[in-house]
Amino acid sequence: MPRFFFNIVVRGRKAIPDPDGDELAGDKEARGHARTVAREMLSRRIWYKRGLEHWAFMITDKTGRQVAIVPFSPVESKSATAKLKKGN
């Protein structure tokens, strides 16, 4: 199974690298895993810093290919992804 890395980016800048990654079946499963973890973190917001709406997972594979950017928001939208890519 391929290994995917779920690096946390804040306003488009890498902030917390994922050194270990997770083995998942493919790109689709990696995106689903990122959405699930982001929702869990949002639901436990009191444990994390404020401003999670500016966070996202930048998913990469073992070759460094960017698979997706998954924003930490209850509803993922193309505009939110575009803003994160631009660093807004």
pLDDT tens-digit readout, 19-33:
999 999 999 999 999
Which residues form the domain of 28?
A: 3-86
- pLDDT(35) > 90: yes
- Residue 88's pLDDT is 44
Do 18 and 30 form a contact (C-beta atoms < 8 A)? Answer: no
Q: Is 71 helix (H, G, I), strand (E, B) or coil?
A: strand
**Alpha-carbon distance 27 to 48, whole Å?**
27
pTM for this entry: 0.76
Q: What is the pLDDT, as a whole number, of residue 79?
A: 43
Backbone angles phi, psi at 35, to 5 degrees: -60, -40
Tally of domains in the chain: 1
pLDDT in tens, 44-85: 766 555 677 788 999 999 999 999 999 987 554 444 444 445
Quote the pLDDT of residue 15: 81
pLDDT at 36: 94
Report residue 12's pLDDT band, with 50, 70 and 90 as the boundaries.
Answer: confident
